[in-house]
Amino acid sequence: MTTELVLASGSAIRAQLLRNAGVQIRVAPAVIDEISVRRALEAEGAPPRDVADTLAEMKAKKASSKAPDHLVLGCDQVLAVDRKIISKPATPQEARDQLMLLRDRKHQLLSAAVIYKDGKPTWRHVSTARLTMRAFSESYIDGYIDRNWQSIQHSVGGYKLEEEGVRLFARVEGDYFTILGLPLLELLGYLTISGVVEE
């Protein structure tokens, strides 16, 4: 290890993935008004991919201003169904509404990562996973939300695939790390080239 990566995200799973991969990180979440930015981009007709990329870059840029001599990683994940973007549920009822919308349908998870150094973007990547939910019963989803609300309120779409949320799905296409919110393999490739991790 030759340097430290600054993670401009408060996501525990992203930090865990990086640490498990042997990357030395310092967590420094960047706070931006994600809702306003997302709404403005959607009003302009921006595709979900661009929304995820823009939010990730804004976080990296903000955190980079406080650590200009470090590589700073900004991340964002967007859930899209028919170009409609779904955010983290604010209430159990909103989680239920989201899950009922996704029931028996395919949606996309787009995970964006942008690295800044010296106030400029040096690398970016957006990966996509496609997931199909099964036609679960309403009684199951009510119980699922009751059991898991404390965890799923922090996840877009109201589920975590690494937990009981996996039972909601009939099919998953794409990289597992993308689903967790980080294009890890592509990122590690860049960090290796950059000398952050040993080759």
Instruction: Please tell me what DSSP assigns to residue 90.
Output: S
Beta bridge partners of 89: none
CA torsion 127-4-28-61 (nearest 10°) is -60
DSSP string, 132-149: EE----HHHHHHHHHHHH
76 flagged as catalytic: yes
Q: Which of 33, 53, 69, 76 is catalytic?
A: 76
Q: How far is the C-alpha of 184 from the C-alpha of 175, rounded, in Å?
A: 9
The pLDDT value given to residue 160 = 93
The pLDDT value given to residue 6 = 96
Beta bridge partners of 86: 79
Angle at 79 between CA 60 and CA 20, to 5 degrees: 55
The pLDDT value given to residue 68 = 83
Write out 52-88 in H/E/C secondary structure.
Answer: HHHHHHHHHHHHHCCCCCCEEEEEEEEEEECCEEECC
- Written as tens digits, the pLDDT of the chain (199 aa) is 347 899 999 999 999 999 999 999 999 999 899 889 999 999 999 999 999 999 999 999 999 999 888 999 999 999 999 888 998 999 999 999 999 999 999 999 999 999 999 889 999 999 999 999 999 999 999 999 999 999 999 999 999 999 999 999 999 999 999 999 999 999 999 999 988 888 7
Q: Give the sign of the dihedral formed by CA 48, CA 94, CA 165, CA 154.
A: positive
Q: How far is the C-alpha of 130 from the C-alpha of 10, rounded, in Å?
A: 25
The pLDDT value given to residue 2 = 44
The pLDDT value given to residue 174 = 94
The pLDDT value given to residue 1 = 37
Q: How far is the C-alpha of 194 from the C-alpha of 190, rounded, in Å?
A: 6
Residues contacting 137, CB < 8 A, separation 6+: none
CA torsion 11-12-17-22 (nearest 10°) is 110
* Token pair in block for residue 174: 């794409």
Q: How far is the C-alpha of 104 from the C-alpha of 135, rounded, in Å?
A: 5
